[in-house]
Structure 1
């Protein structure tokens, strides 16, 4: 009996799509399936209204955490909050205004947290920008260096007292492997003399790596750990300034390939979730994780002298030490 051509075509398309989904799931890495709960713990996630941040918040809310969604746009944050509550059945989710491009906003956010929260158990520095046109923060820092690094540097340091009040606190900094491609340009940290969007992004992520290493050393012997999470190349709004994100033609032509190669926000969130809840990481600090497994750290991020120099500059620029 000969099957109808339409049936054969539909079956082939369905099989191909199913195979593509399986391959995408495989390429995206394993899901963190352990069902560890975080009842009674307070978690701050920056940039939690979209992408990886929102998916991380959903999973941590499902595990019973108290979530503080730290976002610049409160309207978008409220939409995300309602979605997280609907999916997790956890009403202990709060929106807080935080603009990492403003030291004043960061200090205002920290004051509110200190006034309202007994302690912070997990801080996830998730928010970031990538390869954007040259612009400046409120304090005239180059945008990527300011939002991706100086903002989290100030926020984390100002929250250390609250983190130390937790029995086992965790700081999680999201990075990108592009940090390996550069070295800190201390002669032009603020990109005054030269600006390349990709290089500025790489610089900001190397700064996060150096900061994490130095912070881990400074926190040795305390109850606070700091680790970096590499979420992988994920399809989120952060890529809107890339060429393929601005061209409908190239974006359309490459979309099937990018769909397969790039992680979904859910897949990209797995390492952050792992670092936030896994009980085996209580004393692990100063490490880098990819796909929920420890990864090697490039030599450029292990330069102690560069890390100390960057720290001192960052203290001065953010007026942390004043």
Structure 2
């Protein structure tokens, strides 16, 4: 039985992806920050699935300690991971910080996933057909990597922070794909489109929920938004396009800054220092 790990699996696209992967006969590890919501997602998928199996693993991508603990627990139970889907993402209208002092969007959307991926890499390399799928966004097109102030202590705004984090997803995918070129692991990046999820809704205050309700008719459903991710996870046709960026199942060009080799290397080295994880 193949094993897949999905971040942000408690709701929206993450839960839809997890259900489909389970129904395809996989064992799916639901990586969730919140225990209550994670257990609810686990029960919901258990109720709906016709095949496969699921388990819950708590993992707060805004905490390096939590990411390390989660990776250690996963590897203690599973020698091999076939698919890792870096799906979780947040939008924070006001500047916030993770427990490690990172600006929240780059901390969760990029640095948490950077560390998790590298910690699980040996297990993914043991798979016959390992796949890493990085969910980015069209927001990378307005993104910049602010080398002098990546945590945006000055002049913060939500679009600037979110765009940077989504650009970093693609810069990460670029370098990772090259590092794994001679292995059996394929790296893919993708943009799911405008999806009706809890992204941008403050879970404590509920701020943003009304706007989401008004815009929902114009959004894709989580299942529709999950389509390209599932295509990359399950199709045998895509292996020849490893390292590329997909929108609506099609290879698509990224913005110029996402193709910058030197910028990608700078982002990688900075990410190593921030997470304290020196990669090979």
TM-score by length of 2: 0.94
How many corresponding residue pairs?
276
Q: In the alignment, is residue 297 of structure 1 matched against residue 259 of structure 2?
A: no
Using the TM superposition, name which of 70-79 and 40-49 deviates more: 70-79
Aligned-residue CA RMSD in angstroms? Answer: 1.7
SS of the residue corresponding to residue 195 of structure 2 reads: coil
Distance 1:193-1:68 versus aligned 2 partners, 3 A rule: same
Post-superposition offset of 1:247: 7.6
- d(CA) in 1 for partners of 2:122 and 2:209? 46
Distance 1:129-1:276 versus aligned 2 partners, 3 A rule: same
Q: In the alignment, is residue 73 of structure 1 matched against residue 34 of structure 2?
A: yes
Cα pair 2:244 2:251 within 8 Å, conserved: yes
- d(CA) in 1 for partners of 2:94 and 2:146? 19
Q: Which residue of 1 aligns with 2:156?
A: 195
Cα pair 2:173 2:188 within 8 Å, conserved: yes
Q: Which residue of 2 aligns with 1:19?
A: none
What are the superposed Cα offsets for residues 278-319 of structure 1, whole Å, 9 maximum, x if unpaired? 011234321111111211121110000000011111101100
Post-superposition offset of 1:89: 2.7
Q: Which residue of 2 aligns with 1:127?
A: 88
Cα pair 2:23 2:52 within 8 Å, conserved: no
Cα pair 1:288 1:294 within 8 Å, conserved: yes
- d(CA) in 2 for partners of 1:195 and 1:247? 22
Q: Which runs of 5+ in 2 are unaligned?
A: none
Cα pair 1:225 1:283 within 8 Å, conserved: no
| Correspondence for 1:246 among 208, 211, 236 | 208
| Correspondence for 2:21 among 44, 53, 60 | 60
Cα pair 1:131 1:198 within 8 Å, conserved: no
Which structure has the greater CA radius of gyration?
A: 1
Q: Which residue of 2 aligns with 1:43?
A: 4
SS of the residue corresponding to residue 111 of structure 2 reads: helix
| Correspondence for 1:263 among 194, 211, 220 | 220
SS of the residue corresponding to residue 160 of structure 1 reads: helix
